[in-house]
Amino acid sequence: MFVMTIDQRASRRRGDQVDRLLGWAGARLSAGAPGIVRGIERTVGDEVQVVLNDSAAVVDTALRVLRLSGWSVGIGIGPVDLPLPAETRAGSGIAFLHARDAVERAKSRARPAPLAVSTTVPELADDCESVLTLLATVISRRTPAGWAVIDELHRVDVPTTQDAVAGRLGITQQAVSQRLRAAAWAEELAVRPTLARLLDAADESAHATGRH
């Protein structure tokens, strides 16, 4: 199981942004959505938490939150105490403890990205964290022009071919391709499944350790 604890950075200067984050998350991170076991909710202060059982959803959620900036992301991996209570903040177990450790480490200014991963086997956590940090660094360097193309490709209500995207943005198909290359979009798509497999391996190891 995966527990994500997400804490606001510089809340005194920016004011409480949790309600804004919850509104942004919407149905995507609500209970019953793909990969979501317990929906995102405020735990205490300017912190939120969500419980997931799908590694691809963890990757997607982490990268989406990191794109917003202003948040520290901690990912805890391992068993949880069952049955899970209805409220996310009432949950307990190893994954919750690891998520607490991870988010506290994610707050360090010395880290290249405000994220951390924690699980029973430190080496597996380090592997997950390294790949996620690389992806976070890539997305942090994207330009608004690059994001405009990527956001259009993510739409589900209209055609998402490069020709269609170019038409809606008023640019050439060549420009769309150039923006995607500069944004390292193909590289991100290639690495996401690798990170998901690493997270799954860490989860399997944590559960195996927990049985002994």
Q: What pLDDT digit, counting tens, does each position of 16-57 carry?
A: 789 889 998 888 898 889 999 999 999 988 999 999 999 999
100 and 64 part of one domain:
yes
In this prediction, residue 113 carries a pLDDT of: 95
Confidence class for position 9, pLDDT limits 50, 70, 90: confident
Distance of CA 66 to the CA centre of its chain: 7
85 and 157 part of one domain:
no
User: Phi/psi of residue 108, each to 5°?
Assistant: -65, 130
Once rounded to an integer, what is the mean pLDDT over residues 106-132?
95
Residue 26 lies in a domain: yes
Once rounded to an integer, what is the mean pLDDT over residues 62-69?
92
Residue 211 lies in a domain: no
In this prediction, residue 67 carries a pLDDT of: 92
155 and 113 part of one domain:
no
14 and 79 part of one domain:
yes
In this prediction, residue 212 carries a pLDDT of: 40
Once rounded to an integer, what is the mean pLDDT over residues 116-145?
96
Within a 10 A sphere around the Cβ of 80, how many other Cβ atoms?
21
Show the domain range for 112: 2-121
- pTM given for the model: 0.93
In this prediction, residue 45 carries a pLDDT of: 86
Domain of 14, CATH number, reads 3.30.70
Once rounded to an integer, what is the mean pLDDT over residues 108-132?
95
Q: Mean pLDDT of all residues in the chain?
A: 93
In this prediction, residue 210 carries a pLDDT of: 60
Question: Last residue of a domain, which of 90, 121, 152?
Answer: 121
Share of the chain above pLDDT 70, in %: 98
Q: Please tell me the total count of domains within the chain.
A: 2
Residue 14 lies in a domain: yes
Kindly report which listed range (42-51, 106-115, 125-134, 201-210) carries the lowest average pLDDT score. 201-210
Q: Is 14:31 a contact under the CB 8 Å cutoff?
A: no
In this prediction, residue 69 carries a pLDDT of: 86
In this prediction, residue 72 carries a pLDDT of: 96
11 and 72 part of one domain:
yes
Cα 149 to Cα 153: distance, rounded to the nearest angstrom = 6
